[in-house]
Structure 1
Amino acid sequence: MTSSYRSIAILLIVTGTFVASNIYTLIPIYDLLTDELTTTTSMIALGSTSFTLCYAIGLLLFGTMSDVVGRKPILVLGMLLFSITSLCVSFADSDFSMIVTRGLQGFAGGSFAPVAFAYTFDLYNGKFRALILSMINTGFLVAGILGQIISASIATNHGWEYVFYFYFVIYLLLFLLSAKFLPQNKSKTNTSFKPLQSIKLFSSFLQSKNLLLCYIITFSLLLTPISFYDALNQYLLPISSAEDLFFIRTVALLGTILSIFGGAINAKYGLKGSFYIGIALLIGSLIPMILIPDFYVILYSAIFLVSSISILIPTIIAIIGTIEQKSRGSAIALYSFTLLIGASFGSLLTSILPFQGVLLFLLLYGIINIFLMRKISYSR
């Protein structure tokens, strides 16, 4: 492994972290934007919704296109588009323009995740590939905190527009670095992009028993931390402070350290073995919180919950990439779409169930995932 390929890996990890950070940009500045744009919090929240929905559409479209035109063109041009649309958001002067520009920004942001995962498969092998997949996903988890810190600190000191000026510069820099340093790869599997053909391709993935089971498991992976933190907010806020909640989120990020050892775990125990270790950590984190929902029990258990997600997400990506090698970009695009759709159900779940009810649901889903994984087969 040359130093240049290690540098490429670092570039992908850093890019992934900053791309995902933008998902959480509006959360800490809802009140500020409500005052500045003279609108309601619910209308500003639609800016986050439009970002997420268009992001999901971008995941499917760009992941499939990368199988046609190659990974690098999508990553590079997608980052340029993300930079430009980030600047556009800074000019929003009404709730409507905020919703529209955030939607455009989300669509552009969808060009990274599935393409970067497929690109990692194309460039790397073995333990180092597993490590890079784990680290990119760790960046996504860290982004949940980092994105809010960046947004809150810049908006408080300079104004909300400067948040998007900041991202415009960052994404422009990442565009230039990607254009210069990312190598071309021979990953094209199709000769032309046809939407109807893409729909048939996605349908064929769902008709594959192994991939379908992977996608059912995938649905729960981001649903788990999103619904956990949402339910935790509702449970602790009446009896605790916002600072305590932020402290739990921050300390829980210690769980991402386990992702560094993802390659070694995969090498020793295999992909299925790694999956079962992740599920064991998940179950081991949920049961104590169900039985004793105390602040410190939740604090320590949250670390193991994040650890489990740090192992499970890159493991499922690796399994999907191993099962579907011909149209890997498209298969991982559908994975990313399913992951995001699962996350969107987090708020719905917490609106129906209390804190311990959510934990019990996640526990049952985790146990079901064990049986689903036992039915999945693939060539090693």
Structure 2
Amino acid sequence: MTSTQHRGVAREAPASSRLSFVTTIAGLSLAGILVVGQLYTVIPLFSLMAGDWGSSPTAVAWTATAFAIAYAVGFLFAGPAADRFGPRRTIVVGLAATAVVTIAFPLVSSLAAALVLRVVQGLVAAAFAPSAFAYIATRIDPHRRVAAITWLTSSFLAAAVLGQLAAQAIGQAAGWEPVFLAGGVALALGSVGLRLVLRADEADGRATVADAFAAMAGLLGNRRLLLLYGTTLMVLLGFVGVYSGLQVAGPPSLAGNDGALLILRASGLPAMLAIPLITPWLARTAPERRVAIALGVAALLSVVTGFLTDGAAIGVCLFVFVAGIAVAAPGLVQAIGAQAGAARGAAVALYTFFLFVGAGLGPQLATALAGFGFPAVSLAAAGILGAGALLALGAATRVRP
């Protein structure tokens, strides 16, 4: 920390510091819901869009995957961009560009055009997450960073539920096009709001994309980091797989019942809100072991959920399932950051890459197994999450010299 930063901290009163923290994290978390929500909003709209484009819901599921893969690839460039131009500038420009593409999406008239625009949307939306993590790493007091990371990662998970809830409600009332129009306007407002809330950048402009890729290549030679990245891939693959499975292969008792599906999607939200509040207690356990336990619990609940038919019972299981995912995601950020040392920025860029590659594969997992019913989807998701738990345990094991 520079002497200027020390003087800034000394002048800032504790109450002002708390207010600044709350405002910053609230703004970043809301933006996170809006950005990541763009991945999930299409899931309840598969049938509506398929009808307009003369396609099938299975084919339209590629709109989720196209966004997610482009989103993940974009992270590899967004991290270096945040280092070079500053996280605040990268966040604001990225949100504005995402708003423009999102508003343009309802103009497409075919699945092929939709896939192209979703790729573009994913690439520009990728500017947000690595830049937000970089801002937290450099602008948030060290003793508050774990809480800030937990709130931010929880917002990414909440987006899976809130994005689907909003899309389903608006889609049923007005069609699929207004879903994207409303999302684009909200993203534009988020760009303006964060420009006002976040502190100005102090980027020195010396970081290059080549430097960042060199750092990433070096990180992939670390055994523990490879295991943690493998775990990261499994987290949203299993999570999105279960939620997509409810949509395309849900229990027969819920088939065609949009109200029941709406309630099931909402059942996990309290867990996402509760987990950041118990962060100090969770931090007592080493992050790798915390991740392993959380994913093990999520895997178990995925198995149980697959064989339930009662909506209330499924809702309770999804609450615990989501809690496990909400504990694992920030735990992985903490574990990866600790292993990466000075290359933390490159390490987090790789984390977001693997996280959302998994998210993009989730709908494909669900549609591939939909013909075998929801139990097949949930069992496959459980196996994936269980494998993630084992990889996390492997990362926690000390390597003998």
TM-score normalised by L of structure 1 = 0.86
Bigger mean CA deviation after superposition, 88-97 or 129-138: 88-97
Distance 1:102 1:370, change over 3 A: closer
What is the root-mean-square deviation of aligned Cα atoms in Å?
3.0
Distance 1:226 1:270, change over 3 A: same
**Which whole-Å CA distance do the structure 2 matches of 1:348 and 1:50 have between them?**
11
**Which whole-Å CA distance do the structure 1 matches of 2:36 and 2:350 have between them?**
18
Give a deviation string over 1:170-213, Cα, whole Å, max 9, x none.
1111111122221134465x71423x444333221111223212
Amino acid of the structure 2 residue aligned with 1:251: S
**Which whole-Å CA distance do the structure 2 matches of 1:100 and 1:16 have between them?**
23
Which of 75, 83, 86 is the aligned partner of 1:67? 83
1:228 lines up with 2:250 in the alignment:
no
1:265 touches 1:274 (CA, 8 Å); kept in 2?
no
1:219 touches 1:339 (CA, 8 Å); kept in 2?
yes
1:372 is displaced (CA, Å) by: 1.6
Identity of aligned residues (%): 23
Which of 225, 228, 237 is the aligned partner of 1:211? 225
Q: Which residue of 1 aligns with 2:4?
A: none
Q: Which residue of 2 aligns with 1:150?
A: 166
1:373 lines up with 2:395 in the alignment:
yes
Q: Which residue of 1 aligns with 2:326?
A: 310
Question: Which 5+ residue runs of structure 2 have no aligned equivalent?
Answer: 1-16
Q: Which residue of 2 aligns with 1:9?
A: 25
1:127 is displaced (CA, Å) by: 5.2
**Which whole-Å CA distance do the structure 2 matches of 1:40 and 1:13 have between them?**
34
1:334 lines up with 2:356 in the alignment:
no
Amino acid of the structure 2 residue aligned with 1:199: F
Distance 1:206 1:229, change over 3 A: same
Q: Which residue of 2 aligns with 1:97?
A: 113
1:118 touches 1:321 (CA, 8 Å); kept in 2?
no
Distance 1:122 1:274, change over 3 A: farther
1:308 is displaced (CA, Å) by: 0.9
**Which whole-Å CA distance do the structure 1 matches of 2:242 and 2:55 have between them?**
30
**Which whole-Å CA distance do the structure 1 matches of 2:67 and 2:299 have between them?**
32
Q: Which residue of 2 aligns with 1:78?
A: 94
Q: Which residue of 1 aligns with 2:191?
A: 175
1:81 is displaced (CA, Å) by: 0.8
2:235 touches 2:385 (CA, 8 Å); kept in 1?
no
1:333 is displaced (CA, Å) by: 1.4
Distance 1:239 1:180, change over 3 A: closer
Q: Which residue of 2 aligns with 1:114?
A: 130
Distance 1:227 1:127, change over 3 A: farther
1:266 is displaced (CA, Å) by: 4.2
Amino acid of the structure 2 residue aligned with 1:373: A
Amino acid of the structure 1 residue aligned with 2:234: S
Bigger mean CA deviation after superposition, 211-220 or 347-356: 347-356
Which of 268, 275, 280 is the aligned partner of 1:252? 268
Amino acid of the structure 2 residue aligned with 1:23: L
1:135 is displaced (CA, Å) by: 1.7
2:88 touches 2:200 (CA, 8 Å); kept in 1?
yes
TM-score normalised by L of structure 2 = 0.82
Q: Which residue of 1 aligns with 2:206?
A: 191
1:7 is displaced (CA, Å) by: 0.5
**Which whole-Å CA distance do the structure 1 matches of 2:261 and 2:175 have between them?**
25
1:30 touches 1:44 (CA, 8 Å); kept in 2?
yes
**Which whole-Å CA distance do the structure 2 matches of 1:179 and 1:299 have between them?**
38
1:127 touches 1:267 (CA, 8 Å); kept in 2?
no
* Match runs of 1:15-26 below 5 Å: 15-26=31-42
Distance 1:308 1:376, change over 3 A: farther
1:163 is displaced (CA, Å) by: 2.4
Amino acid of the structure 1 residue aligned with 2:119: G
